[in-house]
Amino acid sequence: MSKNIFSTSNITLSKSAVRQNVRFVKKQLADNVLLSAVLKGNAYGHGIKEMVSLFETANVKHLSVFSTQEAAEVCEVKKKSTQVMIMGWMEDEETEWAIENEVEFYVFEMGRFETAVHFAKKHKKKAKIHIEVETGMNRTGFEDSHLKEVIETMQANQEFIDFVGLCTHYAGAESITNYLRVVDQIQKYNEIYELFKENNLVPKRRHTACSAAAMSYPETQMDMVRIGILLYGFWPSQETFIAYQKSNGHGHDGLNRRVKHPLKRVISWRSKIMSVKEVPVGEFVGYGTSYQAAKKMKIATVPVGYAYGFARSLSNQGRLIVNGKRVAVIGTVNMNLMIINVTECKNVSKGDEVIMIGSNGKVNVSVASFSELSNQLNYELLSRLPMDIPRRVVI
Ligand SMILES: Cc1ncc(COP(=O)(O)O)c(C=O)c1O
């Protein structure tokens, strides 16, 4: 963007927060468990390229993405030694690009497998594959009825494949309501692993765990974990956080002093006041009649609306920080802007900073607080942050 053209909002990413979160996650892992940082969804909205180098600086050596497109973005900036894994979408013929670039990828159906073997033969280079198996989520993964064919194809093509991983994904490890389903999945995975072993097919890494599984079901950590949300400084759910607190002194140390929260939010999102005006008592504010001034008010506009990542469902609900005070969104969030109630803010004027996610040192607005209000998960709100908001790394 030209030097004289400004974005309506800005994102900063904290290097020290990434370090702290990586340190915390590694402390939860058993020895020799490899940490793969999940970078899908534009690194949970943080910015994929920026996050690659932040994770590398924090000594993370394995990165997971959803698609070939994301893998290509990572490959543009990553260190040679950092390993990339595609967990989801690839056109079958993109396995050629992955093989040439030594990118690992999931295989969960025969078409992709056969194409991968074809290109591995063509390039005389092994395809680095992770066989994903169905254990009960019913999303992707080879079902039982396909395992015989998978095993035979692997045995017949051993010189063209590098069996890097055997993997699966849990159907909601962040909620106790899914306990029995997750436990059944763990058992099923272990049975399938045994079946592969009996056929002399031993993966280099068994991996099944996301953030919630790694925290709440430590036996799922196996040889590698695929961690997203925790590394960005958020808990997968309140339940996961409370379970952690319960087994860690309820947030207190041995001397009964409150310990600092172990995770630190990486992202801050800020904008500026666009205009300030007064509204007489009884007037409606913004489109329609969803907000009526109960007294004479001072309102301000902020140039961030639902087209810029601030959900419309936060209408009359969202909270922001202006001049150290928490203020409320009033009326409906528009496409390009929102209106906030600054009646209680002294001396507020055009150009003053507005914090949508972050803190001013004392007051804090977190994604968790407003995603609960809007009934969205942290995951959704973060990953919907538009890619073109400028991102800047800070210490
Ligand atoms: C296959 C897979 N592994 C790992 C993750 C990371 O999950 P989390 O962000 O909860 O750690 C995801 C995210 O949904 C995923 O789809």
**220/216 Cα distance (integer angstroms):** 9
Position 352: which residue type?
Answer: D
The DSSP 8-state label assigned to residue 109 in this structure reads S
Cβ(211) – ligand 1 distance below 6 Å: yes
Residues 43 and 180 occupy one common structural domain = yes
Q: Is residue 373 part of a domain?
A: yes
Count of C-beta atoms within a 10 Å radius of residue 154:
21
Position 257: which residue type?
Answer: R
Position 371: which residue type?
Answer: S
pLDDT above 90 for 378: no
pLDDT recorded at residue 188: 98
Residue 371 — very low, low, confident or very high, per pLDDT cuts 50/70/90? Answer: low
Q: Name the domain count of the chain.
A: 2
Task: Identify the residue with better confidence: 381 or 120.
Answer: 120
Q: Ligand 1 centre and the CA of 299: distance in Å?
A: 40
Residues 157 and 247 occupy one common structural domain = yes
pLDDT above 70 for 375: no
The DSSP 8-state label assigned to residue 191 in this structure reads H
Q: Ligand 1 centre and the CA of 43: distance in Å?
A: 11
Give the number of the atom of ligand 1 that is nearest the alpha carbon of residue 88: 1
The angle formed by the CA atoms of residues 156, 161 and 166, to the nearest 5 degrees, is 100
Cβ(38) – ligand 1 distance below 6 Å: yes
Residues 273 and 218 occupy one common structural domain = no
Residues 153 and 302 occupy one common structural domain = no
Per-residue pLDDT of 33-85, as tens digits, reads 999 999 999 999 999 999 999 999 999 999 999 999 999 999 999 999 999 99
pLDDT recorded at residue 379: 85
| Helix, coil or strand: residue 84 | strand
pLDDT recorded at residue 217: 97
**256/229 Cα distance (integer angstroms):** 29
pLDDT above 90 for 251: no
Phi and psi based region of residue 44 (left: phi greater than 0; alpha: psi -120 to 50; beta: remaining): left
Q: Is residue 22 part of a domain?
A: no
Q: Is residue 303 part of a domain?
A: yes
Residue 373 — very low, low, confident or very high, per pLDDT cuts 50/70/90? Answer: low
Residue that terminates a domain, selected from 221, 251, 281 = 251
pLDDT recorded at residue 76: 98
Residues 243 and 301 occupy one common structural domain = no
The upper half-sphere exposure of residue 233, i.e. CA atoms within 13 Å in the direction of its Cβ, equals 22
Pocket of ligand 1, candidates 22, 55, 210, 224: which has the most ligand atoms within 8 Å of its Cβ, to mutate?
A: 210
* Token duo for residue 218: 């430590």
Per-residue pLDDT of 4-24, as tens digits, reads 788 999 999 999 999 999 999
Considering just the CA atoms, what is the radius of gyration of the chain in Å? Answer: 24
Q: Is residue 236 part of a domain?
A: yes
Per-residue pLDDT of 298-355, as tens digits, reads 999 999 999 999 989 889 999 999 999 999 999 999 999 999 999 999 899 999 999 9
Residue that terminates a domain, selected from 225, 251, 277 = 251
Q: State how far the alpha carbon of 51 is from the alpha carbons of 29, 105, 214, in Å.
A: 21, 20, 21
Q: What is the mean pLDDT of residues 366-385?
A: 76
Residue that terminates a domain, selected from 251, 282, 304 = 251
Cβ(229) – ligand 1 distance below 6 Å: yes
Q: Is residue 326 part of a domain?
A: yes
Residue 131 — very low, low, confident or very high, per pLDDT cuts 50/70/90? Answer: very high
pLDDT recorded at residue 250: 87
Q: Is residue 17 part of a domain?
A: no
pLDDT recorded at residue 374: 65
Q: Is residue 330 part of a domain?
A: yes
Q: Is residue 99 part of a domain?
A: yes
Residues 200 and 164 occupy one common structural domain = yes
**207/226 Cα distance (integer angstroms):** 8
**338-341 and 297-302 as β-strands: parallel, antiparallel, unpaired?**
antiparallel
Residues 294 and 376 occupy one common structural domain = yes
Helices (H), the chain: 15-28, 40-44, 48-57, 68-77, 95-100, 110-123, 144-156, 179-198, 211-216, 238-246, 367-373, 378-383
- Quote the mean pLDDT of the chain: 95
CATH label of the domain that carries residue 314? 2.40.37.10
pLDDT recorded at residue 261: 87
The domain of 122 spans: 32-251
Q: What is the mean pLDDT of residues 173-179?
A: 93
Residues 219 and 303 occupy one common structural domain = no
Which residue matches tokens 């007037």? 283
Residue 228 — very low, low, confident or very high, per pLDDT cuts 50/70/90? Answer: very high
Count of C-beta atoms within a 10 Å radius of residue 285:
19
Residues 80 and 186 occupy one common structural domain = yes
Q: Ligand 1 centre and the CA of 298: distance in Å?
A: 43
pLDDT above 80 for 368: no
Closest Cα to residue 224, out of 204, 196, 244, 200? 204
pLDDT recorded at residue 381: 86
pLDDT above 80 for 367: no
Phi and psi torsions of 226, nearest 5°: -110, 100
Max Cα–Cα distance, the chain, nearest Å:
79
Across 161-165, 172-176, 353-357, 367-371, least confident range = 367-371
Residues 275 and 209 occupy one common structural domain = no
Q: What is the mean pLDDT of residues 191-210?
A: 98
Q: Ligand 1 centre and the CA of 38: distance in Å?
A: 7
Q: What is the mean pLDDT of residues 367-386?
A: 77
Pocket of ligand 1, candidates 24, 66, 226: which has the most ligand atoms within 8 Å of its Cβ, to mutate?
A: 226
- Please, what sign has the CA dihedral across residues 282, 283, 285, 289? positive
148-151: long-range contacts at Cβ-Cβ below 8 A with a sequence spacing of 24 or more? 149/110, 150/110, 150/113, 151/195, 151/196, 151/199, 151/201
Residues 71 and 143 occupy one common structural domain = yes
pLDDT above 90 for 256: no
Q: What is the mean pLDDT of residues 233-248?
A: 92
CATH label of the domain that carries residue 187? 3.20.20.10
Which residue matches tokens 């920080």? 321
Q: Ligand 1 centre and the CA of 226: distance in Å?
A: 6
Residues 189 and 292 occupy one common structural domain = no
